[in-house]
Amino acid sequence: MITVTDLRKVYRQGDRMVTALDGVSLSVPKGSIHGIIGHSGAGKSTLVRCLTLLDRPTSGSVTIDGRELTAVKDSEIRAARRRIGMVFQHANLMDSRTAAANIAHPLELVGTKKSVIDARVKELLALVGLEGSAGAYPAQLSGGQKQRVGIARALASDPDVLLCDEPTSALDPSTTDDILDLISDLTRRLDLTVLIITHEMNVVKRICDSVSLLEAGRVVEHGPLREVASDLRGRLAKQLIPLPVTPPSPGGPVLELLFTGQTTSDPVLSALTRRFDTDVNVLAGSVELLAGTRFGRLRIQLDTHTDMAAVHEYLALQGVTVEVAA
């Protein structure tokens, strides 16, 4: 479990103070994956540095499995950091070392016995699907394979937490999916707590259980994926289940509908046309699978004569969320 409470980081830039983190709080249960999404300058890198104690926060706390990291003395920081495995955008491997030797490096640094290291490296290579690549040098590996080595190295010290900083931003879409699936699989198998910092909503869609939207150093929306996706007015929902912009359409009222789970496969619209003797014009639509649940968004236009109060009541009864489009 990671708990971040009211984290603030203020930098001095000449005679100006820059607030990079302005009271960030979040909590990630053990065994789950939390995405932090934000644009450039939102404070993502600062958050990573504060979580790994590369930077001391100005105030607030970071607690991992009940231990307050922000309270550890400088002399204990290295040991505390070993409980956090880091995965970077570029795997940052040492070119002169083989895959196995890169993975072994953090264990060598703390003086682990060679026989123990060898067994652990073998185990880690198998865990990330690189059994046959122990002796390969980074130059001989693909981007995805390098990232697998990076993940194995991050897991070498048997951390409780995996902190992934833009882990797939340098990879092509299919390799991205493979790496995300690997992170997801490892989270379940090793009962890790994972934080993924990203600017890509696809990363959140594919593997996150919960998400926070970071903006100008503040968390402006957060929650389990299913909850934020269900909030039609929310900014995250609009990005998670995007609908194209449609030109103003003369005629009857325009509604936005959100279907979740079973309602995505119910014939709600055809029932609506029959029941209210109205025509339904579908202006835009999209269906996404998020955290194992199907979400559908539709923008529809109805006849001018339609009894809107009754339509709202009927759709609510069907479990469909309705918004009148602007």
Ligand X SMILES: Nc1ncnc2c1ncn2[C@@H]1O[C@H](COP(=O)(O)OP(=O)(O)OP(=O)(O)O)[C@@H](O)[C@H]1O
Binding-residue total with ligand X (CB under 6 A): 12
Give the H or E element holding residue 26.
strand 16-28
Q: Residue 278, interface with ligand X (CB under 6 A)?
A: no
Alpha-helical (H) ranges within 52-196 are: 77-81, 99-109, 114-127, 143-155, 173-190
CB of 21 to ligand X, least distance (A): 8
Q: Does 45 bind ligand X (CB under 6 A)?
A: yes
17 binds ligand X (CB under 6 A): no
Q: Which of 40, 75, 96, 174 binds ligand X (CB under 6 A)?
A: 40
Beta bridge mates, 289? 294
Binding of ligand X by 287 (CB under 6 A): no
46 lies in the site for ligand X, by CB under 6 A: yes
Contact 299, 283 (CB under 8 A): yes
User: Helices 268-276 and 308-317: crossing angle, nearest 10°?
Assistant: 150
Indicate which single residue of 33, 37, 42, 141 sits in contact with ligand X (rule: CB under 6 A). Answer: 42
Q: Which is nearer to ligand X, 50 or 311 (CB)?
A: 50
Q: Is 240 in the site for ligand X (CB under 6 A)?
A: no
- In the complex, least distance from residue 71 CB atom to ligand X, rounded to whole angstroms: 23
DSSP per-residue codes, 191-222: T-EEEEEES-HHHHHHH-SEEEEEETTEEEEE
Does position 44 interact with ligand X (CB under 6 A)? The reply is yes
20 lies in the binding site for ligand X (CB under 6 A): yes
Q: Does 174 bind ligand X (CB under 6 A)?
A: no
Look-up of token digits 């983190």:
21
Question: Which two structure tokens, joined as six digits, stand for 324?
Answer: 């009148």
**Side chain identity, residue 78:** R
Does 4 bind ligand X (CB under 6 A)? Our answer is no
Question: Which of 11, 71, 114, 135 is close enough to bind ligand X by CB under 6 A?
Answer: 11
Residue type, position 104, single letter: A
Q: Interface with ligand X by CB under 6 A: which range of 28-36, 37-45, 122-130, 140-148?
A: 37-45
Query: In whole angstroms, how close is the CB of 165 to ligand X at the nearest point?
Result: 9
The CA–CA distances, whole Å, from 221 to 24, 26, 229, 251 equal 11, 11, 11, 35
CB of 20 to ligand X, least distance (A): 3
DSSP letter, residue 239: H
Cβ–Cβ under 8 Å, residues 157 and 82? yes
* Positions that interact with ligand X (CB under 6 A): 11, 13, 18, 20, 38, 40-46
